[in-house]
Structure 1
Amino acid sequence: MNSDRSTPSADAKSIAVRSIEFVAAGGREDFDAIIHPEALNHETKTEPPHTRVPGPASWHATALWLRQPFADLHFEIRNVVADGDLVAVEVTMSGRHVGLFLNFDESGAVAGAFPPTGRSFAVAQSHWVRIENGLVIEHWATRDDLGMAEQLGWLEPSPAYLTRMLWAKRRARKARPV
């Protein structure tokens, strides 16, 4: 491989990795530096409505949404592969469930509410990031949401936790009308 081709791939890999690591610990200015103003995150369909906008605001809003319920949020980078403007990043996402986690339906209404369990999780994810002119322009992900839900006790919940989930969902819907 010639050096002209390897340098852009190295830069693209670095940008893609930072876009993921910033979710755990980056500020708005970090996202502004690497996310294109018209960038599209294809993974916001179950996130709060304010994450479903183009550009750095979406990535920053997603980061804040995930940091609230998950302490010690971390993305361990496993593998990074680039082919032209597309970068694949394999990670293990981990954290501890310490706050209320909400997910949303397409209309923006609360679809699920998961009160804190105090449990830790570690799940595999693959992120696909397209880079344009040195900035992230698109993002897709494949996540082990089922594995995370099982580790956190959200699936096969005890009757007591199921009751807590239902009450939390009711309170969240009242607090966040569509």
Structure 2
Amino acid sequence: MATSEPAEFAEVIHPRAVNREAIAEPPAARGLGPLAYRATALWLQEAFDDLAWDVHDVVEHGDLVVVHVTMRGIQTGTFVSYGPDARPVAAFPARGRRFAITQTHWLRTADGLVIEHWANRDDLGMAQQLGWTPPSPGYLLSMWWALRRARAAHDRQG
């Protein structure tokens, strides 16, 4: 997820792969296969620099692989969250802060490739580290403006 090279996604992601976490991601990430997973990576890279995942544990059982990691980075761009209708529902402007949160990723494989993904993440810990919550009155105003810009950009593309 720290890369944006399409060929690298095709090496590990099945053409019919689904990302069960994509419900809060941009429309391009909601499809199937390597390009949808790449869209998730690009979405994360728009908001965060120096993205890295430190792998702590990997467990495999049949076609299921579980990976326990720490995700880290620095927020340098606005992070936009999307609703079920694929429209922006929240926007968190960058404050230049670093974060490090634990995550557990569940991957189902087929033909040696990832065909399904879902995750457990510490989103509250991330929000606290990045200063999103509790928001100050000034930051709430920044969030409102960022959401307006994100929705306008979405509507222009749609």
TM-score range, shorter chain: over 0.9
Aligned twin of 2:77: 99
1:141 aligns with 2:119: yes
Q: How many residues align?
A: 156
Aligned twin of 1:28: 6
2:138 partner SS: helix
Partner deviation per Cα, 1:62-88 (whole Å, 9 max, x = no partner): 000001110100000010000011000
2:77 partner SS: coil
Once the two structures are aligned, what percentage of the paired residues are identical? Answer: 51
After superposition, residues 64-75 of structure 1 pair within 5 angstroms as 64-75=42-53
Aligned twin of 1:77: 55
Rounded to whole Å, the distance in 2 between the matches of 1:66 and 1:158 is: 24
Aligned twin of 1:168: 146
1:87 aligns with 2:51: no
Give how far 1:33 is off.
1.2
Rounded to whole Å, the distance in 2 between the matches of 1:46 and 1:36 is: 21
1:25 partner SS: coil
Partner deviation per Cα, 1:65-115 (whole Å, 9 max, x = no partner): 001110100000010000011000000000001001101000011100111
1:109 aligns with 2:48: no
Rounded to whole Å, the distance in 2 between the matches of 1:152 and 1:55 is: 31
Partner deviation per Cα, 1:35-74 (whole Å, 9 max, x = no partner): 1100111010000011000100111000000011101000
RMSD: 0.9
Which has the higher Rg, Structure 1 or Structure 2?
1
Rounded to whole Å, the distance in 1 between the matches of 2:152 and 2:95 is: 22
Q: Which amino acid aligns with 2:104?
A: S
Partner deviation per Cα, 1:145-164 (whole Å, 9 max, x = no partner): 11100110111111111110
Q: When you count strand as a share of all residues, which structure comes out higher? A: 2
